[in-house]
Structure 1
Amino acid sequence: MTALTCAVTVSAGSAGRDTAARSPVQDLVSPRTVPGAAQLSQDAHGVRFHTAGVADVRTGRPIRPTDRFRVGSITKTVIATVTLQLATERKLNLDDPVSTHLPAATAALLPCPGDNGSDSDSRDPGRRITVRQLLTHTSGLFSYTDDRAFFRRFFGPGFTAHRFETHKPDALVRTALTHPPYAAPGERYRYSNTDYLLLGMVIRQVTGHSYATEAHRRVIAPLRLTGTSFPGTRAGLPSPHGRAYTTTGSSRTADATDLNPSSAGAAGELVSTLPDLNRLFGALLRGTLLPAPELRQMRDTTDSYGRYGMGLFPVRLPCHRTLWGHNGEISGSYVQTLGTTDGRHLVSYRVNSDAPVDAAAETALLTAEFCPKA
């Protein structure tokens, strides 16, 4: 989990790279830092799978459609879906103070109104972080992955030595709360992995079950996502899988296939496959998992000024089409799943590295997939 970051808008890059004989997924591969890439698309015309490079630099085998891999922050889409399902069941309200749905010890750690130095906050003691603000990344809470020492130890140069260590969610929250908030609650959008760590804790407090158990019962099992799982502290990937590679702050790649994903938790621990991701987002966007009002809230980007909804964000293409989905980054892996508003046209693509993916190559891939050719 190099940063569990998200992208929100595709810039207008070169869209003319693909030809009849060449898939744009090939441009995601880099000889030194990105060994392999794959793309799975589906629409009314069928399912198409393209791959480039290799899944394993030692054996040279290609990436297969059913390979398991880590999906990082796409975990947030599942966590947001479960939270909104709980809201529809009136087990929580999105405008509840989050402190009312957390263990007392964790709630006591949250900043009180005025802790960020805002006089207006001090004059309004009723203003607190809400469940909605966690979902939309407008809580103002510092992201624990922005802590420099933590990042260097677990995602930077220290990754190899510390990759198998176990992290408790409350300890990660404490790391975040040693820093002042980015802003007052609701004041502005700032992507924070701490928000979704707390939502994972909210799910346990409200249901009595872990977020993984609830997600399996409510999302994974009903959709028959047979390649999708929450590994918890398990370091290995389920079979079949290729390898994952990290640059860990250098230009040389190292194998990052095995790691303890508890450092990501509810913000990014999920394992999945390309077919499962398409099925998940297709079902979500078509309204299978949520009633229409909650799905509209999920795509409402008002609070973030167009950048993020609740576990979904819009991607605007050069041809003026808007897609909905999420991406994820974790040590050794980057993936993005996007679909049309009706969920009928979908694409998931991934690389087996955490090295930066060429933005123009991503734009070319999405433009070739979704923009009508002149």
Structure 2
Amino acid sequence: MLTAVPVVLAASLLAPNTAAPDPVRTLAQEIVASGATGVQIRTVHDGHSRSVTAGVSELDSRRPVSPTGRFRIGSATKMFTSTVVLQLVAEHRVQLDAPVEHYLPGLLPHGEEITVRMLLQHTSGLYDYTDSLPLLGPDLEKIRYQHRSPESMVALSTAKPLDFPPGSKQSYSNTNFIVLGMLIERTTGHAWGTEAAQRILRPLGLHHTSVPGDRTGIPGPHAHGYQEMNGKLVDVTDLNPSMAWAAGEIISTTADLDKFVRALAAGRLVPPDLLKQMTTPRSATEEYGLGLRTPTTTCGVRVFGHTGGIPGFQTVAFTSPDGKRRVEASVTLGRGPNFDWTRAVLDKFFCS
């Protein structure tokens, strides 16, 4: 005997699928389709968090990317370094407009002209030492496991003339944050990573975040990053991150990065007046404050946080000024992505 299908159920069976597309999930799939090995994206909106992944954790494996896996955050490390420096400013142990020469005498040829503020906002004119390192292509293998001291990286920079007179313009240079790491150590008497751990990692409970020093591996579950060398993809997950030091060595997770940017936006890490300086660029045409990127999305929303890149890995971590909307992501590289996915993820999330 046939039974009648209830009207509501029949309508639902016959109605077309009108579910709204998921822009973040679609973007994750596009990132992998364009050549990345894997991606994980975490979003938080008004306290509700979700994670999206795509791709694989390792080539020749079908193991999916873990939404809780660790990764190298590259230059997103600069958020941690600048936070420690601004805490020292709040403690009256460092002055933003004091010359670097005052804290690190003899380190820089133009140390009397370059201030701490200029280092934080990339207006020092210091040549970027990473431009003298073979970080792309097969020559990476020559330096991949080498220890590099901060002094040696500064020496690579000061062997070149200044890119421009200090304070006259803005140009991103990793050297600035190597010098800031040295300033932290000279001021506190402790390793920069120790200060980061005592002031940020432990108080916020960032249990899956580490400052690895010379340790070449990534602890715990993680996706692998690759780089093309002589036409083949080479696993470059393991390397000595001292080549990035206070400018880019940290390992973390999307959840830990979310705790960090949330605490920063809430004023738990630096006083409000200093946070305002961190998140305010010099002019309307620039998108960098003091250790933080401050991009504006295509829909006019200004956010703050940082991007990051190191062989095999790219990162984003951004928050709205009120901290209610946040996004963190890691892409493990292969032969792509072949588009600016970092801008795309900001637009897809903050404008949807």
TM-score between the two structures when normalised by the length of structure 2: 0.89
The yes-or-no answer on 1:137 pairing with 2:86 is: no
Partner of 1:35 in structure 2?
37
How many Å apart are 1:20 and its aligned residue?
Answer: 4.4
**Does the alignment pair 1:307 with 2:292?**
no
1:266 to 246, 252, 264: 246
What SS class does the counterpart of residue 326 from structure 1 fall into? Answer: strand
Answer yes or no: is the 8 Å Cα contact 1:230–1:271 preserved in 2: yes
- Tell me if the contact between 1:314 and 1:322 (Cα under 8 Å) persists in the aligned partners: yes
1:67·1:242 contact (CA, 8 Å) conserved in 2?
A: yes
- Contact preservation (8 Å) 2:71, 2:330: no
Aligned to 2:137: 156
Q: Return the offset for 1:59.
A: 2.2
Q: Which residue of 1 aligns with 2:175?
A: 194
Shift in Å at residue 304 of structure 1?
A: 8.5
Q: Is contact 1:138-1:188 (8 Å) kept?
A: yes
- For the Cα contact (< 8 Å) 1:27–1:361, is it kept in 2? no
Over residues 263-283 of structure 1, what are the superposed CA-to-partner deviations in whole Å (9 max), with x where a residue is unaligned? Answer: 111110000001011111111
Q: Is the 8 A contact 1:189 1:304 kept in 2?
A: no
Q: How far apart, in 2, do the equivalents of 1:357 and 1:325 lie?
A: 21
**Which residue matches 2:12?**
none
Residue by residue over 1:287-307, the C-alpha shift from the partner in whole angstroms, topping out at 9 and shown as x without a partner, is 110110010110121169422
Q: Which residue of 2 aligns with 1:206?
A: 187
Q: Which amino acid aligns with 1:367?
A: D
| Contact 1:43 1:346 (C-alpha < 8 Å) held by counterparts | yes
What's the counterpart of residue 109 of structure 2?
Answer: 111
**1:20–1:109 CA distance, 2 compared to 1 (3 A):** closer
Specify the alignment match of 2:82 in structure 1: 80
Q: Secondary structure at the match of 1:246?
A: strand
**In structure 2, what is the equivalent of residue 276 of structure 1?**
256
- Residue 87 and residue 20 in structure 1: after superposition, are their counterparts in 2 closer, same or farther (change >3 A)? closer
Aligned residue identity for 1:81: T
Distance 1:240 1:278, change over 3 A: same
Deviations 1:96-152 (CA, angstroms, capped at 9, x unpaired)? 1111212xxxx4241248xxxxxxxxxxxxx611111100100111110122xxx22
What is the distance in 1 between the residues matched to 2:215 and 2:333? Answer: 20
Q: Which amino acid in structure 1 is aligned with residue 42 of structure 2? A: L
Bigger RCO of structures 1 and 2 (CA < 8 A, at least 6 apart): 1
- Partner of residue 229 from structure 1, selected from 187, 210, 221: 210
Deviations 1:243-271 (A, max 9, x none): 111125x6532101110001111110000
Matching of residues 242-253 of structure 1 within 5 Å = 242-248=223-229, 252-253=232-233
Q: Structure 1 CA distance, aligned partners of 2:83 and 2:344?
A: 30
Counterpart selection for 1:173 from 154, 165, 176: 154
Measure the CA separation in 2 of the matches of 1:312 and 1:293.
Answer: 15
**Number of equivalenced pairs:** 332
Note closer, same or farther for the CA distance 1:259–1:37 as it changes in structure 2 (3 Å cut).
same
**Alpha-carbon deviation of 1:44?**
1.6
Q: What residue ranges of structure 2 are gaps of 5+ in the alignment? A: 1-19
Tell me the equivalent position of 1:8. none
Q: Is 1:353 paired with 2:346?
A: no
Provide the rounded CA distance (Å) in 2 between the counterparts of 1:361 and 1:295: 27
**C-alpha distance in structure 1 between counterparts of 2:325 and 2:22, whole Å:** 20
The CA deviation string for residues 144-179 of structure 1, in whole angstroms up to 9 with x for no partner, is 0122xxx22x44321123211110110111011110
Which residue of structure 2 lines up, in the alignment, with residue 121 of structure 1?
A: none
User: CA contact under 8 A between 1:329 and 1:354: conserved in structure 2?
Assistant: no
Structure 1 215/172 Cα, relative in aligned 2: closer, same or farther at 3 Å? same
Q: CA–CA distance in 1 between the matches of 2:109 and 2:303? A: 36
CA displacement at 1:27 relative to structure 2: 1.0
**DSSP 3-state at the match of 2:294:** strand
Residue of structure 2 in register with 1:3 after alignment = none
Contact in 1 for aligned 2:37/2:334 (Cα 8 Å): no
What's the counterpart of residue 4 of structure 1? none
Tell me if structure 1 keeps the 8 A contact 2:307–2:342. Answer: no
Give yes or no for contact 1:333–1:354 (8 Å, CA) kept in 2: no
1:183 corresponding residue in structure 2: 164
Structure 1 109/204 Cα, relative in aligned 2: closer, same or farther at 3 Å?
Answer: closer
Which AA in structure 1 matches 2:131?
D
Aligned residue type for 2:21: T
SS at match of 1:368: helix
SS of 2:307's equivalent in the other structure is strand
**How far has the Cα of 1:23 moved from its partner?**
2.9
Would the aligned equivalents of 2:38 and 2:223 in 1 still touch at CA under 8 Å?
no
Counterpart CA distance in 2 for 1:369 and 1:112 is: 42
Equivalent residue, structure 2, for 1:371: 351
Name the residue aligned to 1:23. Answer: 26
- Counterpart secondary structure, 1:314: coil
**Structure 1 vs Structure 2: percent identity of aligned residues?**
38
2:114 and 2:86 mapped to 1: Cα distance? 17
